[in-house]
Amino acid sequence: MSSTQTCSGMENKLIAYLDGRAKPAERRAVEEHLAACADCRLRAEDFRALWSVMEDLPVLSPSPAFDAALRTKIAKEPALRGFWQWLPSPRLAFAVTALVVMSVWLSSMPRIAGGRNKMEARIEAKATQVTAEADYRMIRDLPVLENYDVLSKFDALSELSDSPVGVTKVGAGQAQ
C-alpha cells in the first residue's frame, strides 16, 4: 500500500489516538505509523499544540439568570389567534394558494389526445397511413398472389414432360 493511502487511513485513527479513545491494537498501529511517517508525526504534534492552546482558553457558560430571562421573553410573546394559529406560516399559505392557482390553470388548458404533443400525433398518423397503404397494395395484388399459389402447388403440372405435346423439334434444314 502506498504511503498516501496509509496516511489517509490514519487520519481518523489519529484523532482517537490523541484523545486516548483508541483501542490498544489501533494505538500500536498509529504509533508504528507515526514512527515511520514524518508528515503524520508533524500533524500529530500540530494537533497536540492546538489542543493545549484550546485547554488554556476559559470556559464560557451562560449566566444563571440567562435561562430565566429567556423564558420570560418567550412568555411575553403574544399568542397567535384565529386563522394564523391554524396556519403555521405565511409561506405555507402562499405555497397552497400557488398550488391551487396552478391546478386551476392547468385544468382549463385544452388537452391533446392521449397527452401527446402535436408532433407525436403527426408521426403516428403518418405511420398509420403508411401501414394502410401497404395493406391496400397487398389486397390489390391478392388475385395475382392466389394464382401463383395455386399454380405453384398444382400437382398436374409436375407430371407433364418438359416438351409440349404436338410440337416437334425442327432440325436444321427440315420443314414442318
Look at residue 168 in the predicted model and tell me its pLDDT. 52
- pTM exceeds 0.85 for this model: no
- Rounded CA separation 10/34 (Å): 9
Stronger pLDDT, 47 or 9, i.e. the higher one: 47
Among 77, 9, 85, smallest CA distance to 40 is for 9
Separation in Å, CA 147 to CA 151, 152, 154, 159 = 6, 8, 10, 19
As a whole-number percent, the residues of the chain with pLDDT over 90 amount to: 7
Please check whether residue 40 is in contact with residue 10, taking contact to mean a CB–CB distance below 8 angstroms: yes
Q: What is the mean pLDDT of residues 83-98?
A: 75
Q: Which three cell numbers stand for residue 139?
A: 389486397
Stronger pLDDT, 49 or 126, i.e. the higher one: 49
pLDDT tens per residue, range 47-84: 889 888 888 888 888 887 888 898 898 888 876 666 65
Look at residue 18 in the predicted model and tell me its pLDDT. 85
Separation in Å, CA 3 to CA 19, 37, 46, 80 = 24, 8, 20, 62
Q: What is the pLDDT of the chain when averaged over all its residues?
A: 76
Question: What three-state secondary structure class fits 117?
Answer: coil
Which residue type is seen at 122?
R
Look at residue 103 in the predicted model and tell me its pLDDT. 92
Look at residue 88 in the predicted model and tell me its pLDDT. 64
pLDDT at 176 over 50: no
Q: What is the mean pLDDT of residues 38-54?
A: 88
Least confident of 58-62, 140-144, 149-153: 149-153
